[in-house]
Amino acid sequence: MAITDQPKPTLDEIITQMGHAGERICDIEASEAGAGNISVYMGWEVEVRRHFPHAEEIELPVPAPALAGGTVLATGSGRRLRQIAAEPLAAIGAVRIHEDGVTGTLYTSNTRRFAKLTSEFNSHLAVHQDQVERRGVDFQAVVHAQPPHLTYLSHIPAYRDTARMNAAILRWEPESIVSLSQGIAVLPFFIPGSEEMGKANVEGLRDFEITLWSKHGTMSRSDISVYRAVDRVEYAETGAKYEYMDLVAGGRAEGLTKEEIRNVAETFNIDSPWLS
């Protein structure tokens, strides 16, 4: 069920989720120093001035006409995800998207500790724009992380293939086919923040809920909660960790068989393209 059919979360609830998400991403060692970023789109009227009293006009890094009138919370460039929970208003900005879809108002707090929003705000905004335009969601969380085992596997040419990667990470835990049923899209290496990267990422997240940016990290989305977007990173990274362990051990483990994965999927009524 999409969040459209549920009571709208408050601004405080979303900020709290962003803090917890940042902590969890760091707990699984998927964000070193200032790496990683989080954004949340809210398609309803949100009063942000009490939290973020300072306003400045900005030009959006990519056009986002479908988001007009909505608000996007995003982490600031260089802010450590592990510190969001302790000082959320120092690390987060709120952007109200103008009706023209190419400009916005950036609201920040008295304790702001960043010069600008994350350098990957263009990728976040493009995903929000595409999902809202195509699916009509009024809430979406997007998380970029750098999980080490997934990123390591993407340095191995054989794993830079979507089918191969999904076969690898879905075979280690029965929960994986349930919680990561659509799998993960593997993208080639692109320069971070480039137009090519943004386009490939948007296309990947149309059919998948998490993309792996080869030799870089992941981006995941959820229209349920920030927590759900982080869960997808955690399940994929756990599968990659098992796969890495098996590589180190010389490929000795059996893993779940295709039949076992199909039986789990059938039991929990899971439809997945990775069952054949």
Q: Residue 136: CA atoms inside 13 Å, Cβ hemisphere, count?
A: 2
Q: What is the structure's pLDDT at 1?
A: 37
Tally of residues, the chain: 276
Task: Name the packing angle between helices 226-248 and 162-169 (round to 10°).
Answer: 90
Give the torsion sign (CA, 44, 45, 46, 48).
positive
Report the SS3 class of residue 248: helix
- At position 150, the amino acid (one-letter code) is L
For the cut 50, the answer to whether the pLDDT of residue 274 exceeds it is yes
In this structure, are residues 103 and 60 in contact, taking their beta carbons and an 8 Å threshold? yes
Contact 113, 93 (CB under 8 A): no
Average confidence score pLDDT of the chain: 95
Q: List pLDDT tens digits, range 122-145.
A: 999 999 999 999 999 999 999 999
Could you tell me the pLDDT band of residue 35, with boundaries at 50, 70 and 90? Answer: confident
pTM for this predicted structure: 0.93
For residue range 155-195, list pLDDT tens digits in order.
999 999 999 999 999 999 999 999 999 999 999 999 988 88
Measured between alpha carbons, how far is 114 from 211 in angstroms, rounded to an integer? Answer: 27
Q: What is the pLDDT of residues 230-242, one digit of tens each?
A: 999 999 999 999 9
Q: Specify the residue for token string 């009227």.
A: 45
Compute the distance between CA of residue 137 and CA of residue 176 in angstroms, rounded to an integer: 25
Please name each of the domains of the chain with its CATH number. 9-267 (3.40.225.10)
Residue-level pLDDT at 5: 60
At which residue do the structure tokens 């590589």 appear? 247
